[in-house]
């Protein structure tokens, strides 16, 4: 079955520290992966897609098919990065399968 696993419910770092939010998926085909972010009192919004290979707000994510991972990284965390982050998988359909989310707290 297709599944997305985010093993950390909460990740706490200090400002300026590197950040890595983990995401693993299970799908035997060619996946399409996304990261969504939800800031406090705001709607869920797309952060980035693996297919575009872009960097948004300093975040990057690389698809590793061998490890079935799509970890989200940022070299230097900022306080405004504090939010809920969801990894999502499109397994050959228009439906997205979401992980359980990781709350990132960045302390000053």
Partner 1 sequence: DVKVTQSSRYLVKRTGEKVFLECVQDMDHENMFWYRQDPGLGLRLIYFSYDVKMKEKGDIPEGYSVSREKKERFSLILESASTNQTSMYLCASSFRGERRGYTFGSGTRLTVV
| List of residues contacting partner 1 (CB under 8 A) | 6, 9, 32, 34, 36, 42-46, 49, 51, 86, 88, 90, 94-101
Contact 89, 31 (CB under 8 A): yes
Contact 102, 8 (CB under 8 A): yes
Q: Please identify, using beta-carbon distances, which residue of 17 and 30 lies nearer to partner 1.
A: 30
Closest CB 95 distance from partner 1, rounded Å? 6
Q: Please identify, using beta-carbon distances, which residue of 15 and 96 lies nearer to partner 1.
A: 96
Q: Please identify, using beta-carbon distances, which residue of 97 and 106 lies nearer to partner 1.
A: 97
């Amino acid at each position: 079955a297709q599944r997305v696993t985010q093993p950390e419910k909460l990740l706490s770092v200090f400002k300026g520290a590197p950040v890595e939010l983990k995401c693993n998926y299970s799908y035997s085909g060619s996946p399409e992966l996304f990261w969504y972010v939800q800031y406090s009192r705001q709607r869920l919004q797309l952060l980035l897609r693996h297919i575009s290979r872009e960097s948004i707000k300093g975040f990057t994510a690389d698809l590793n098919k061998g490890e079935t991972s799509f970890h989200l990284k940022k070299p230097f965390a900022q306080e405004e990065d504090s939010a809920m982050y969801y990894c999502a998988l499109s397994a050959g359909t228009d439906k997205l399968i979401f992980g359980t989310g990781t709350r990132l707290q960045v302390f000053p």
